[in-house]
Structure 1
Amino acid sequence: MREKIISHSVRLLCLGGAVLSMQAMAQTADAPMQTVQVTGSRIASPGAESPSPLQVLTSADIAASGATNLQELLMKNPTLGTPTVSRTNSNFSTSSAGVSTVNLRNLDTSRTLVLLNGRRFVSGIPGDTAVDLNVIPTDFIERVELLTGGASATYGSDAVAGVVNIITKRNFTGLILDAQGGQSTKHDDTKKKFSATWGTSNADATNNIMVHFGYSKQGAVYSKNRAISAVDQNTQNDPEDFFKVNRPFYSSYAPQGRFFDDNGSFTYDRNGAVIPWNTNGTNGQAATGFNRSEFRSIAVPTDRYLLATTGTMALNENHNVFFEGNYASTRVTTMLEPFALGSDDIYKGDTFGQVPAELLINGTLRRNPLVPDRLFNNISDTNGDGLRDYFFTRRMAEVGNRGSKANRDTFRLATGVKGSFNLLKEWNYETYVAYGQTKESQSGNGQVNVLNFRHALEAITDIDDLNTNNNRTEAICADSTARALGCVPINVFGYNSISPEALKYVNAPSSLETRVTQKLAGGSINGEVFDLPAGAVGVAVGFEWRGEESSSEADALTQAGLNAGNALPPTYGKFNVKELFGEVRVPILKDKPFAKELNLSSAVRRGKYSTVGYTTSWNLGGEWSPIADVKFRATRALSTRAPNINELFQPAQQTFPADIVDPCDGIGPTGGGARGDACRAAPGVAANIAANGVFTLTQSDLQGISGYDRGNPNLRAEKGRSTTIGVVWTPRSIAPLRNFSFTADYFDIKIADALVFMPRQYALENCYGGDGSLCNVITRRPSKMGANNSGSLEYIDSLVSNTGSKATEGVDLTASWAGAAGPGRLSARASWTWLHEGYDTPTPGAEKDYWAGEIQQSPKNKASLNLAYKLGAWGISGTTTYIGKSYLDDQFLAQFDLPRNAVGVGSRTYQDIQVTYEFRKKWELYLGLDNAFNTKAPPIVSGLPGNTTGAETEAGAYDPIGRRYYLGMRVSL
C-alpha cells in the first residue's frame, strides 16, 4: 500500500520529467494538496517541483523490470553513462569486483552523489565515494529520484553531475513475499531471488516498523560460452578495417614455456619433444599458444544477503524518532587464466630477465643440471656477468587459475528526530546521526613468490651431499639459507614439469583487507518566514558534519610486487568536513496575465575540509508558468567536489593499461619528423631498428605494458558550473491530453580544475610529438635485452592533478501518457537524451579530447520507451532501450591519421518484456524476457579502445550475455 501523500507527490514529480508507471498513473488525485519535499530542495511546500530536471522511477517500474539490483534498471535511463564498475566489467579488478555503481552524464562515478532518503550512504569502494547499489534491496524501494545537474549547494560535495536519491517504503502494513528464478538461453547467468517484506503500523501511522530480508544468487558467464569471446583475438589495427581481427591470437605464454637462446626461441610439445616456436598455434592449448579466453569470465558470480529495516516512533503529536538500518553481505568470485610469468618478472634491474644457467660457487663454475643440453649449448653471456644465461616465458598452469573470493559486508545505521513547531508559522525540523562501514576480505590464488622462484631456478648438482641424504646427483637450491627454508629446485622446461614440492615452495596465495567508514551528523529546519502577494517565502537552513576514513592493505608480497603481479602498497587516509547551508524560495507572481506562477529559488553551502580547506557551492533557479499548462524552468549552479581518499593518499599502485598505441611502432632509421627523431633517441628503440629495419613490437611487447598510478596530497577541490533550461508541458486543460506530459531540458556542465589521472596515450603523444615535457613518466626496455625485445614500452606512470577540465552538453526529452485504451489501461513513456558535446582536457591549453559519441563513453543518442497495458487480471509491460551509433576513440584513430568519428559500430536496440497474471487477488505470477530478441553486442575486440577484457565488447554499455528469462511469484498477505 502507498499513502496518498506519496502517490500525489510522485504524480507531481512526473509532471517535471518523472518516469510514469502504469500503477502510479492509474491512481486518482482526489486527496487534498499536501506539503511535499523533492530531491533538489530542502524546502517542503505545496506542489513543489524541482527547477532542475528530475526523473522518477517507482516501485512499479522496479517490479516490472525483474531487476536483481538497481543498477540493472538505472542503466536503461538515457541520462546514465557507462558504469565504472558492474558485474560484467570487473572480473579483472584487483578489488571491488561485482560492485554496481552509477554514472550520471558520464562524468564519472565520483561525480554522482547517491543518497538514501536524502542522506549519504557509505561507499562500497575503498578510497572512493561510489555507493554499491548491490546493498540496497530493490523490493524495499518506493521510488528513485534522479536529479541531473549540479546539486552541491543542496547536498554537498560529489553532486557535480547530479543526485540519485533512493527513497525507501514507509508505513507499510502486511507481508509481501517474492520469489524468482531464471537463466540465459545459454543455460548460464542463472538467477535465484527471494525476498520478504513485513510491516506494521498503528491506526494513524505515527508508529510503524518495516523489515526486509532478501537473498539473491547470480551465476557466472564464461567467455568460452559466447562465440564472440571463445577464442583469443586481437584487432589487426588495419585502418581500412579495424574490426578485421587476428583470430586466433593466442598468448605467447604457453604452459610448456618458451625459451630464448642465441638462435631464437623454441618450446616443447606435450610429449616433451623440442619444437620451434610458432605463434600460430592451432588450438587453445597448443604448445605455441594459449587461449586465455578458455578461462575468463564475462559476468562474475554474486551472492547477496540483504537485511533492511526502518521505523518511526511518535514522541508526541509533533515530534517523532526515526531509524534506518541496512546490512548486506556479498560474496563474489573472479576467475581468469593461469599467470603469465616471464623471467623478467623474477630477475629485474641489471640482469634484464636473464636467468643464469650456471653459477659461480666458491670460485667454481657450477651448471644448473635442470637446464637441458639443447638450451645450455646454444646460449652465451648476454647481460655481462660472465655466465651463460637465458630468457623464458611460461604460463603457470600448475599453479592453477588466478582469481579471488571476496567477502564484502556493508553496515549502516541512521537515527534521528524530526517534527514540527510553531514560530509565527509552522516549521519543520530534522536532526540525524549515521554510521556506515564497508569491509572486504579477499583471498586470491594463482600468483608466485618471485623471491622463492629465483632461488628455485638457481639450482646446482649436490656433489657434496649438502643435504646429507647420500644422493650426490640430485639438484638442490644453491642458496643455503633458501634450502634451510624449504627451497626445492624448479623445472620449468616443458608441460607439467613442475613438481608438487617445488610448486608448494613458489606458490603465493594473496589476501586483501579493505575498510571504508563513514560518520554523519546533521540537522536542518525549513518553513515559511513571511507572506508575499504571490505566496509565502520558504527558507531552509542547516548544518552537516561528515568524517570519511578508508584503508586498503594487501599481503606483504603483493605490497612489494613480489608475487609477479601488480604492486599494491597499502593505502590509508581520512578527512572530515563541516558545512553550513541555506536555501530560499521566493514566489514573485501568481495568477497574473502571462504569469500563472513565477518563483525564484537559491541555495548556498559553505564547507571546511580538513584536506583542501574552504569550499563554496551555490545555485540559482527559477520557474515561470505563463499559463497553467506550460512551465519554463532554469538553474545555474556552482558545484564543488573535494578529492577522495584515493586521489589524495594512494601510493604508487601498479596497473596494466590496455589499448596503448606506441608512437614509435614502424619508425625506421630515417624519417618520421619530430616523432621519428624522438623515438630514435631512445637507445632501445635504436637497437630494435638496427636489428629489424623498423621498430618492431612482438606480441609479448604489446601485452607487457605496465605503469603506476599515484595520488597527490596537494590537490584542490574541483569546480563544476552547470546550466539547465527547460520546459514542461502538461495540457490538463485539453481533455484528450489530460494525462499527457512533455519535458525538454537543455544541460551544460563544465568542470574546471578537474581531478584527473594523466592519460597515458596523451603522455606518449606529448613525449614523441616534439614537446617532450612528459617523457619523464615513460620507461622503455633497454637495448641489453636483445634486439628483438629492446625499446618496447615497460612503464607509463600517471599522477592525479587538478590540471584537467571536463564538459558535457545536450538535451533531454521525455513524454508520457496514461489512460483508458479499449477495455484496459495503457501507460507509455519515452525518454531521449541527445549528447551534443562532451570532452576532456588533460592539461591547460591541451587540445580537447572529445568523447561524446565514443564507444567507451556515451553515445550521442540514447533513448528508452516504456509501455504497459493492463486488462483485468493480465498485464504486459515492455522496455525498449536504444543505444545510438558510437565511434572508436578519436585519440586512437589519430594514431592512424584518421579523423574523429571515422570508424564506429552501429546502433543497438534491446527489448525487455514482462507478462503478469493476478489470481486470488493477492497472488501474482510474472514471466519476463530480457534482451528478448537476443541482440548481439558489437565486436569491440582486444586492442580496440572500449574493450572489456574477456567480453570482446564494451560490457558496461552493451549486453554481453544475450537473451535471458525469469519466472517469479509475488504474494501480498
Structure 2
Amino acid sequence: MRRTNLLPISLIFGSAATLGVPAALAQQPNKPADTGDPVVEEIVITGSRIRQDAQGFANPVTTFSSETLAQSGKTDLADFLAQSPALLGSITGDLTAGSNPGFGEVGLNLLDLRHLGVDRTLVLVDGRRHVAGLAGSAAVDVDAIPTDLVEAVDVLTGGASAVYGADGVSGVVNFRLKKDFEGLTVRGQASRSSQGDGDNRFMALTGGRNFAEGRGNVAIAYEYSKDDRVFDQDRSYLRPLSRFDLAQNQDDLGDDPDLPDNVPYNDIRYADSSPVGAVDVDFDLESDFEGNGNVYDRGFLLENSGGFTQGGSSTQTNGYQGDLFPESERHLVNLLGHFDVSDSLTLSAEAKYARTRAFSIAQPSYDFYLLMTPDNPWMPDVIRDSIVPGGAAIFFEDPDTPDGVIVTRDNFDLGTNGEDTTRETLRGVLALSGAVSDNLGWEASYVYGETRSRIVEANNRFEDRWLAAIDVVEDPVSGREVCRSSLDPDADSALEGCLPYNIFGTGFRDPRAADWVNTDSVSHTKVTQQVVSGSLSGDLGDTFKLPGGSIGFAFGAEYRRETSDSVPAQEIQDGLTWVGPITPSEGSFDVKELFAEINLPLLTDARFANKLSLGAAFRASDYSTVGKTNSWKVDAVYAPVESLTFRGTYAQAVRAPNISELFSPESTTFNFIVDPCDLNELNNGSSTREANCAALLNDLGIDPSTFLPSNTPQATVFTEGTFGGNRNLSEETAKTWTAGVVLRPEFTPGFTVALDWYDIEIADAINTPEANELAELCVDQPSLDNPFCAGIDRDPDTGYVIGFTVRPDNVASFRTSGLDMTFDYQRNTSIGDFSVQLVGGYLDRIEFVATPGAEVDNDLGEAPMGSLGVFFPKFASTLDVSWIRGPLTLAYGLSWASKTDRFTRETLRGDPDYADSRFFRVKEKWDHDIHGSYDITDRVNVFAGINNLLDQKPAFGYSSYPISAMGRYFYAGAKMNLGGSAR
C-alpha cells in the first residue's frame, strides 16, 4: 500500500451511541443499558446538522466514552483510538521516534481511518474544524486535544464531505468536549513498563461554575502529561546478538529451489564502515584497517544482501534506529463558556493553548570515502606505512589528488543527531446560536487556529567545518596538531577558528572541536486556519408534514482560509549542514462553500414499517486552487419492526490537495535506494518488472543478467534527490457506500447486534511516492512510458540510480471494503452488573493502483517487513468484559488482530522460496488488559491496571508490530471530584 507520505516540507462498527463501541473502548461500564422501552430523543449527530433520532441515523457512527478512555489506562488519544479496527493504521508516538520521522515530525500523533492516509481523515472538535499540527498538511495532531476534557469521540464513514467539506474522504473523527462544569475535578496517574522505563506522568484539573442563576457556565481545564524516551537497545530482543533479520542465504547464492533464498542472521552490520573508521589503503573498496590501526575484520560478508556483513569490525545496523519512543511533554489549557443572553440567543466561546514538546534521538552522521593524507599526525603508523602510491589519483580519477587512504566512518562520537520540536497550538471559537421559532434554529461561528513549531535539529554538522576539522597536520612551530586551514589560508577548507578532530579511533573526542563542528539548527513553521460559517436548521412542522413526521432540513454557507509557512534555519537553507538543504516554503488557499441537507421521514409506526426515512446532503465548493467541486450523499433507513433496522448510504466525497502537495518548493533529500532491477529484486514486483528492467538496461548497453548493484559499495550509499510540490494537482474524488443492519431482539433484552458493510473507492488519488517506491513504480507499470520513470536518473555507464525527483500527481486510485461487526450484551443481576462487548472488523480488500491500467497492488493481509506502520490484517477485534458491584469495578480487555503476511504477494509470486515458509506469516496480536477501580468515597476513586498483561513482544524482524515494544505496562492513579459535575 502506497500511503501518502508525511512530507511536511513531506468505525463503522454499528449505529450511534452503544452500537459499535469497540471492546475495551466501551461506554461507561457503570451505566448498563436500559432494557426497558427506549426513549426517543432527537439530538445533533456527528454526520448531520439536523436534529434526529440517533437510533434511526443512516450512517454507522461509533462512540467512545470518556469513562472508557480513562479506564483504558491510555493518556494519549491516538494510542487509545488506534486499538479499534478502523483506526489501526493511525500514527502513534513509536512511529515518529528515532530514525522514522521526517523533518519536523517527531512526536506527532495522527489518525488514519481505513488505512487511507492521515490527510484523508477529517478531525473535528465539537463538529468544527481544528487546525493542522503539521506544516503543509491537513492532519491534526491529536496531542493538542485535551484527553480529560473529552466527553466522547464519534467516528463516521460515508457522506462526511457533503456535511463537513473536504479532507474527509475516508471519514470523520469528532471529539465532543464536556460542557457545564460545576465544582473541581482532579485526576492523576503514573505509569511504567515492566522494564522499568517508559514512565508516564499525567495530571488533569477541571473546574467550573454556573452563574447568572444557571443561565451561564464558565470552566477552565489544565492538563499535563510527560513520557520518557525509550531507546531501542533498552529491549534485549533488539540488541545485536538477539535481534535476527532476514538476509540472502549464503548457502543459496545459486538459487537452489530446495533452499530458502533468505534466512535469519543476527549481528548484522554495514560492510566496510566503522564507528572508529574503516580504512581502505589500496582502494579496492574493502577495508584493511580500523581507524585505531587494528586489522579490520570484515566479518562474514553477506553477498547479494545490499552491503551487509555478520559480525566483525563494522557498524551494527541497529545503532541507526535510535529511539523506540520519543520523550514528550504536554501542557494544555482550555477555557470554555456559554451564556444564554435570552431564551432565544446563546453566546458560547472556547479558547485553547496547547504546548507540546517532543524529543528523540535518531542516528549519527556518517561519511563515505574520506581522503586522509599521510601528514595527518593522528594517522597510525601501520596505516601510513601501507599507503599505495598513486592509488588515490586513480580512484578519484584526478592526477593531482595526493596520496592517502580513504576512510568510511559512522560518527557516533561526534554526537548523535536528534530532533527537538516544540509545537504551540492556539485555537479560539466564538459562536452565536438561537431560535427563530419552535421549528427553526440558527448558528453562526468563527474559528481561528494556529500551530507554531520550533524545530531543533540537534548535533547538525556543518559540512565545511567538519572537513576542515578532520584535515589535520602538525604545527611546525609548536608541534601540536592543528587544522591545515589554520596554517594555510589557501587550503580547500580554510575556516577561521578551526579546531582539529581525530577520526582515527574513538575516545579522543575534543568537546570543543565537536561544538565547533556541530550546531543546533532552529527552524520554524506556522499553520493558520480561519473558518466562518452560518447555518439554519429545523423542520417544517405541520406545514409539509409526511406520514412519518416533519421534514428536517439544514442549509448554510462557510468560508475557510488556510496558510502554511516553513522557514528552515539559514544554514539548512544554504545546504551547509548535514540536514538539508531545505528551501523555505509558503502557501495558502481559501474555499467558499454552500451546503444543504434534508431528512424525509416517510413512515413511522406503520404496518411493516416501524420507520422509513430518506435523506440527502449536498455541498458546492469553490477553491482558490482547484476551482469548483461538488460533494453529495443520499441515505435510507428502514425498520420493518422496532427490533430490526436496515440502513445505507451512497456518497461522493472530495479531497482538495493540501498546501504541501501544491506549493512545496524543490528541495534536496537523500534516500537509500534498493534498485528494483537488481537480479535479487526482479521477482519482488509486478509481472512486467523483469521485461521493463531488461529494456531499460539494454538501452544503456548494460547486460541485465549481470546487474547486481547490491554487491557494489558505490551503489549501496545514500542517493541525492529532490522533492517538491505540483501546482497542477486537482481534487481527489471518492465514491462511498455503506449498508448495514441493526438487531435488538426482544427476547434478549440488553443484546444488540450491528453489521455494516463499507466500500470506498478513490479516483485521481494524489500519490507522492518515496524514492524507493518511485524506482519500483517506474518498472512495475505496463511499460516504461509512465510519469515515475521520468523521476529516476541512472548513470549511463553503470546503470546505477544516481538521482531522483519526487512530485505528487493525480495518477493513483485506492479501493477498500469490509465488514464491521458489533455484539453488545449488558445485564443487571443480584451479584452485579455485567457488560460484554465484542467488536470485529473484517477487511475484504485494500487495493492501490499507481497509474491507470497498472497492476492492482493488493495489500490485503500483508505487513511487509521494512514498511513501517503499514499492516493490513484481514480480521481485527476488541473484547471487553466488565463487572460492577457497588463501589468496585473489574474489567478485562482484549485487542486482537489476525496473522499477516511478512512478504508481499508480488514477492512470493515471483520467488516462492524467498524464505523458509515458517517465516511467511507474522504472529497474531494478543493484547490482554486488566483494570480495577474502587470508590473510596462518593468523591474519591482509585484505580490501577496492567496493559499487555502477558508481555507480548514485536514479531521477528519488526520493532513495533503486531504490538509496540513498550511491553507489559502498569498504571495507577486516583480521581477526586470536589463537588459538582460535568456533562
| TM-score in terms of structure 2 length | 0.86
Query: d(CA) in 1 for partners of 2:462 and 2:955?
Result: 40
Q: Report the alpha carbon displacement of residue 804 of structure 1 after superposing the two structures with TM.
A: 0.5
- 4+ residue segments displaced more than 6 Å: 27-32, 279-286, 367-371, 459-463, 469-474, 685-688, 899-902
Q: Which residue in the other structure is 2:279 paired with? A: 259
- Give yes or no for contact 1:679–1:768 (8 Å, CA) kept in 2: no
Q: Which residue in the other structure is 2:755 paired with? A: 744
Q: Which residue in the other structure is 1:109 paired with? A: 118
- What does the per-residue CA deviation read over 1:657-693, in whole Å, with 9 as the maximum and x for residues that have no partner? 578453224599xx9766345336557x77995xxx9
2:417 maps to amino acid: R
Helix, strand or coil for the counterpart of 2:841?
strand
1:771 maps to amino acid: S
Q: Report the alpha carbon displacement of residue 628 of structure 1 after superposing the two structures with TM.
A: 1.0
1:904 to 921, 930, 933: 921
1:539 maps to amino acid: F
- What does the per-residue CA deviation read over 1:46-83, in whole Å, with 9 as the maximum and x for residues that have no partner? 55643111110111111211211111211111111312
- Give yes or no for contact 1:476–1:488 (8 Å, CA) kept in 2: no
Q: Report the alpha carbon displacement of residue 860 of structure 1 after superposing the two structures with TM.
A: 0.8
1:494 to 480, 500, 505: 505
Q: 1:793 to 1:674 in 2, by over 3 A?
A: closer
Q: Report the alpha carbon displacement of residue 576 of structure 1 after superposing the two structures with TM.
A: 0.8
Q: Report the alpha carbon displacement of residue 110 of structure 1 after superposing the two structures with TM.
A: 0.7
Query: d(CA) in 2 for partners of 1:342 and 1:448?
Result: 15
Q: Report the alpha carbon displacement of residue 338 of structure 1 after superposing the two structures with TM.
A: 2.1
Q: Report the alpha carbon displacement of residue 407 of structure 1 after superposing the two structures with TM.
A: 1.4
Q: Is 1:139 paired with 2:160?
A: no
1:380 maps to amino acid: A
Q: Report the alpha carbon displacement of residue 573 of structure 1 after superposing the two structures with TM.
A: 0.9
- Give yes or no for contact 1:753–1:803 (8 Å, CA) kept in 2: yes
1:541-690 correspondence to structure 2 within 5 Å? 541-655=555-669, 660=674, 662-665=676-679, 675-676=693-694, 678-679=696-697, 682=700
Query: d(CA) in 1 for partners of 2:754 and 2:349?
Result: 36
Q: 1:825 to 1:243 in 2, by over 3 A?
A: farther
- Give yes or no for contact 1:515–1:552 (8 Å, CA) kept in 2: yes
Helix, strand or coil for the counterpart of 2:439?
strand
1:180 maps to amino acid: Q
1:44-55 correspondence to structure 2 within 5 Å? 44-47=51-54, 49-55=56-62
Q: Report the alpha carbon displacement of residue 940 of structure 1 after superposing the two structures with TM.
A: 2.9
1:466-505 correspondence to structure 2 within 5 Å? 476-477=484-485, 478-480=488-490, 483=494, 485-488=496-499, 490-496=501-507, 499=510, 502-505=513-516
Q: Which residue in the other structure is 2:833 paired with? A: 825
Q: 1:429 to 1:486 in 2, by over 3 A?
A: same
Q: 1:260 to 1:886 in 2, by over 3 A?
A: same
- Give yes or no for contact 1:17–1:743 (8 Å, CA) kept in 2: no
- Give yes or no for contact 1:256–1:287 (8 Å, CA) kept in 2: no
Query: d(CA) in 1 for partners of 2:969 and 2:378?
Result: 53
2:813 to 787, 805, 810: 805
Q: 1:278 to 1:873 in 2, by over 3 A?
A: same
1:724 to 733, 738, 742: 738
Q: Which residue in the other structure is 1:394 paired with? A: 409
- What does the per-residue CA deviation read over 1:924-948, in whole Å, with 9 as the maximum and x for residues that have no partner? 110110111111221234xxxxxxx
Q: Report the alpha carbon displacement of residue 279 of structure 1 after superposing the two structures with TM.
A: 6.3
Q: Which residue in the other structure is 2:346 paired with? A: 320
Query: d(CA) in 1 for partners of 2:949 and 2:244?
Result: 28
Of 931-940 and 156-165, more deviation after overlay is shown by 931-940
- Give yes or no for contact 2:649–2:739 (8 Å, CA) kept in 1: yes
Query: d(CA) in 2 for partners of 1:31 and 1:846?
Result: 52
Q: 1:666 to 1:429 in 2, by over 3 A?
A: closer
- What does the per-residue CA deviation read over 1:101-128, in whole Å, with 9 as the maximum and x for residues that have no partner? 1111111111111100000011111111
Q: Which residue in the other structure is 1:848 paired with? A: 856
Q: Is 1:964 paired with 2:969?
A: yes
Q: Which residue in the other structure is 1:947 paired with? A: none
Query: d(CA) in 1 for partners of 2:913 and 2:628?
Result: 43
| TM-score in terms of structure 1 length | 0.87
Helix, strand or coil for the counterpart of 1:201?
strand
Q: Which residue in the other structure is 1:346 paired with? A: none
Query: d(CA) in 2 for partners of 1:677 and 1:312?
Result: 69
Q: Is 1:535 paired with 2:543?
A: no
Helix, strand or coil for the counterpart of 2:851?
coil
Helix, strand or coil for the counterpart of 2:422?
strand
Q: Report the alpha carbon displacement of residue 870 of structure 1 after superposing the two structures with TM.
A: 0.1
Which structure exhibits the higher relative contact order, with contacts defined as CA atoms closer than 8 Å and separated by 6 or more residues?
A: 2
- What does the per-residue CA deviation read over 1:486-533, in whole Å, with 9 as the maximum and x for residues that have no partner? 345554333345655654443243222111111111111101123122
Query: d(CA) in 1 for partners of 2:480 and 2:355?
Result: 56
1:406 to 403, 418, 421: 421
Q: 1:284 to 1:876 in 2, by over 3 A?
A: farther
Q: Report the alpha carbon displacement of residue 904 of structure 1 after superposing the two structures with TM.
A: 2.4
**Residue ranges of structure 1 left out of the alignment (5+ in a row):** 1-9, 344-353, 359-366, 464-468, 784-789, 942-950
Q: Is 1:938 paired with 2:955?
A: yes
Q: 1:872 to 1:766 in 2, by over 3 A?
A: closer
- How many residue pairs were aligned? 912
1:883-898 correspondence to structure 2 within 5 Å? 883-890=897-904, 893=907, 896-898=910-912
Q: Is 1:14 paired with 2:18?
A: yes
Q: Which residue in the other structure is 1:82 paired with? A: 89
Q: Is 1:163 paired with 2:172?
A: yes
Q: How large is the RMSD of aligned CA atoms in angstroms? A: 3.3
- Give yes or no for contact 1:37–1:48 (8 Å, CA) kept in 2: no
1:923 to 940, 943, 954: 940
- What does the per-residue CA deviation read over 1:369-416, in whole Å, with 9 as the maximum and x for residues that have no partner? 776633643523123321236543211233211112221111111011
Query: d(CA) in 2 for partners of 1:104 and 1:68?
Result: 20
Q: Report the alpha carbon displacement of residue 793 of structure 1 after superposing the two structures with TM.
A: 3.6
2:18 maps to amino acid: C
Q: Which residue in the other structure is 2:783 paired with? A: 771
1:331 to 357, 378, 386: 357
Helix, strand or coil for the counterpart of 1:71?
helix
Helix, strand or coil for the counterpart of 2:70?
helix
Helix, strand or coil for the counterpart of 1:79?
helix
Q: 1:113 to 1:273 in 2, by over 3 A?
A: same
1:289-308 correspondence to structure 2 within 5 Å? 289-290=315-316, 292-293=318-319, 296-308=322-334
Helix, strand or coil for the counterpart of 1:143?
strand
Q: Is 1:70 paired with 2:96?
A: no
Q: Which residue in the other structure is 1:191 paired with? A: 200
2:697 maps to amino acid: C
Q: Is 1:58 paired with 2:65?
A: yes
Query: d(CA) in 1 for partners of 2:472 and 2:314?
Result: 27
Q: 1:341 to 1:762 in 2, by over 3 A?
A: closer
**Residue ranges of structure 2 left out of the alignment (5+ in a row):** 1-13, 250-256, 303-307, 683-688, 864-869, 979-983
2:862 maps to amino acid: E
Query: d(CA) in 2 for partners of 1:724 and 1:637?
Result: 9
Q: Report the alpha carbon displacement of residue 331 of structure 1 after superposing the two structures with TM.
A: 1.4
- What does the per-residue CA deviation read over 1:574-620, in whole Å, with 9 as the maximum and x for residues that have no partner? 11111110000011122222111110000000111111111100000
Of 33-42 and 499-508, more deviation after overlay is shown by 499-508
1:963 maps to amino acid: R
1:179 maps to amino acid: G
Of 514-523 and 91-100, more deviation after overlay is shown by 91-100
